[in-house]
């Protein structure tokens, strides 16, 4: 953690969800591969990185544009994937390293917290229930309710509005490039915590800080807490 991180004093903290708080990316890959393969789309797990951070309806449209299928429209396919994800999240998902500790430390310090996710609201609620940390967040915002998903900043701006804190005073933790772009476009300070599978993406240089996991956020968290 650099000196720059200790000079920013946020008044609120906004977390992404998938791949940051909960290790759901392998589950998304399973659900997407299962559903798209059944439609004849030759999707492989390693191809899923192309749509990381996007809303599931955008993902369905993305693959339909490349491999048009006969059968259900993309919107229905997206719903099938969400249903499968609810099953997987509720039974298999685990927290990312340091996630629960970071959320609890910030909440106990009195900072308002929000989630800003590309996942549908039902998945966000299921994930937070699985982790047992839903009660710490004053707002859980899904890009499902926005005109555009990440990398558009809408969901982050909504989260700041729900918290009543100007975007420039919000600290964001993000694991994907699309999410990082969204947070920066919203005018927020963004600490990137790249999901291991795409840690080498050079575009993470856009972040204000880059750390390997929320476990490594101890310096910035300590600074925030002790500064009041």
DSSP category for residue 11: S
- Residue 208 appears among annotated catalytic residues: no
Q: Is the peptide bond before 79 cis (omega within 30 degrees of 0)?
A: no
Q: Cα–Cα distances in Å, from 217 out to 6, 24, 61, 133?
A: 11, 20, 36, 18
Per annotation, catalytic residue among 18, 23, 58, 208: 18
Rg (CA), the chain: 17
Residues 16, 23, 175, 208: which is the catalytic one?
16
Distance from C-alpha of 64 to C-alpha of 218, rounded to nearest angstrom: 42
Task: Annotate 30-82 with DSSP letters as a single string.
Answer: HHHHHHHHHTT----GGGGGGGTTS-HHHHHHHHHHHS--SSS-HHHHHHHHH
Active centre residues (catalytic): 16, 18
């Amino acid at each position: 953690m650099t000196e720059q991180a200790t000079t920013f004093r946020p008044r609120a903290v906004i977390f992404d969800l998938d791949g940051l708080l909960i290790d759901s990316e392998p589950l998304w890959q399973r659900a997407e591969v299962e559903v798209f393969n059944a439609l004849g789309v030759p999707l492989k797990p390693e191809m899923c990185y192309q749509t990381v951070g996007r809303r599931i309806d955008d993902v369905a449209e993305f693959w339909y544009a490349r491999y048009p299928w006969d059968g259900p429209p993309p919107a229905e396919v997206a719903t099938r994937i969400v249903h499968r994800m609810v099953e997987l999240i509720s039974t298999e998902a685990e927290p990312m390293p340091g996630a629960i500790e970071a959320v609890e430390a910030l909440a106990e310090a009195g900072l308002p917290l929000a989630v800003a996710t590309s996942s549908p609201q039902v998945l966000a609620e299921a994930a937070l229930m699985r982790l047992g940390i839903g009660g710490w967040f004053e707002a859980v915002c899904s890009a499902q309710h926005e005109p555009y998903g990440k990398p558009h900043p809408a969901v982050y701006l909504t989260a700041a509005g729900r918290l009543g804190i100007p975007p420039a005073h919000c600290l964001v933790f993000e694991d994907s490039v699309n999410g990082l772009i969204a947070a920066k476009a919203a005018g927020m300070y963004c600490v990137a915590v790249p999901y291991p599978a795409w840690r080498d993406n050079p575009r993470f240089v856009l972040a204000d800080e880059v750390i390997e996991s929320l476990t490594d956020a101890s310096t910035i968290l300590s600074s925030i807490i002790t500064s009041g």
